[in-house]
Amino acid sequence: MAERRRPRAATEEKRRRLLDATEEIMLKDGYAAVSSRSVAAAVGIQAPLVHYHFPTLDDLFVAVLQRRASRNVERMAEALASPEPLRAWWALASDPRGTALFVELLAAANHRPALKAEVGAIAREVRHMQMTALDTLLGEYGIDPEVFPPPLVAAAVQGLAFSAVQDSVAGYDTAPDDAIAAMGRLVDRLEARRAGNRH
């Protein structure tokens, strides 16, 4: 059986630069500003070379999502297994750059079925991971799972982070920084309670 060829380092480097450039365009000007021309110009190559690595814009968006998501799935698993899981989870969920990029990917997914399917698959994986961890963690934090079941807590943490960071990045006058600070204080109290319960 013939051995599969591994991508050449130069090819991987070009793909990385194209993905980096796409992320920067999305964060600066929004997903609608991404085109083979805009990405090529940012990297300093001809537009057809973008299509050599990513035949369609869907392929490019999906690659951006997969690269970002693979890191975030690993980081979420690490957060939930850390000594202070709720604090680590909140820090990950409320990261301004990551959330701003996800906002743009979600917006693009509304118009791109291939990207929407990929977003859905990743969302299911991460939410399942969170809810499985919360089955154990809620009791450790002294939270009644009958009143605050894992699906509610997971959606609340992610939803608050998404809304507050989005409004903060966009400059909306909705007191997002106050919401983020209040969540930080709640996390402090819950982590202190969990530490007390374990001693």
Give mean pLDDT in consecutive 10-residue pieces for the chain, a chain of 199 residues. 56 93 95 96 94 94 93 94 97 90 92 94 95 97 97 96 88 93 96 89
How many whole angstroms separate alpha carbon 75 and alpha carbon 84?
A: 14
Look up tokens 């500003």; give the residue.
33
Buried b (16+ CB within 10 A) or exposed e, 166-193: bbbeeeeeeebeebbeebeeebeebbee
- Predicted local confidence at residue 7, as pLDDT: 53
How many whole angstroms separate alpha carbon 149 and alpha carbon 80?
A: 17
- Predicted local confidence at residue 3, as pLDDT: 52
- Determine contact, residues 194/185, Cβ cutoff 8 Å: no
